[in-house]
Homo-oligomer: A and B are copies of this chain.
Amino acid sequence: MSPVYPSAQRKIACESCALYELCEPVAAGDRLLDLIEPQIRKDITLQPGETLVEEDLHANFFYAITSGSFKLTNRTLNGTQVTGFLFPGDLIGHEAQHRGQYAATAVALETSRVCGLAMEDLRHMLGNVHPLYQRLINLHARHAYLQFRQTRLIMPRTSAAGKLCAFLFDLHLRAEERGFDGSRLRLPMNRADIANFLGLTQETLSRVFSRLKRERILDVSAKHIQILQIEAIQKLASD
């Protein structure tokens, strides 16, 4: 067997592509192919370092990688965070269907090729078929976006305070999105669960809580947290 993705030039077979289900419907006789195939922009080529989509920009297309590779990055307060690596068969930007903005920047690591599909075209095709589709897709895209945020921006922090603050900031955002006061959090889980989630020990977690309390950034009383300085939290969350 050959090594993985032996060269950027070698394309994967369409059968291995995440878009295959749309590009080449298997069920014989169904007319999806006629519907989708003409809309696909094939063989868009990117040079190493070139940006395909940019975080927070308006999302018009989503893509499937056919050869090469990409890194995903997100901006933080103190620099850039690499949030993933994508290979042939993976999708880029499809989660943007939820907010209409890309969740991350995608940069080609080598000469790479992608197929593109316009969100608008997809919406049209789906809209013509049944309104339920868009709802379901939105539901999935929303979940994917939240999952992405919850994980990729919390975990890679190097310091314990960074992890905890990123975690608290995520809870803050999620509370605000639900229309609650994001500065007053109730933590229904115990310290052991938080520590396990963050890849820390209970003791270290507890020490960080104590430190943030001592520095008047948080008010901690068991499962109830009051955020006193949200900017400080957000700043520490990038460490």
Chain A interface category by residue count: 35 or more
Known contacts A133-B136, A140-B144; A80/B196 CB under 8 A: yes
- The reply to whether A19 and B139 contact each other, CB–CB distance below 8 Å, is yes
Segment at the B interface, from A20-28, A38-46, A206-214, A229-237: A20-28
A3 and B185: CB pair below 8 A?
A: yes
Q: Is the interface of A mostly helix, strand, loop or mixed?
A: mixed
Q: How far is the CA of A1 from the CA of B183 in the complex (A)?
A: 10
Specify the chain B residue showing the minimal Cβ separation from A130.
Answer: B129
A178 CA to B11 CA, complexed, in Å: 12
Contacting residues, chain B, for A22 (C-beta < 8 A): 132, 135-136, 139
| A126 adjacent to chain B (CB < 8 Å) | yes
Can you name 28 A-B pairs with beta carbons within 8 Å?
A: A1-B180, A1-B181, A3-B184, A4-B178, A4-B184, A4-B185, A5-B188, A8-B188, A18-B143, A22-B136, A25-B131, A30-B131, A32-B135, A69-B188, A69-B189, A71-B189, A71-B193, A71-B197, A83-B197, A87-B178, A89-B178, A94-B139, A109-B189, A109-B193, A140-B144, A147-B151, A148-B151, A158-B199
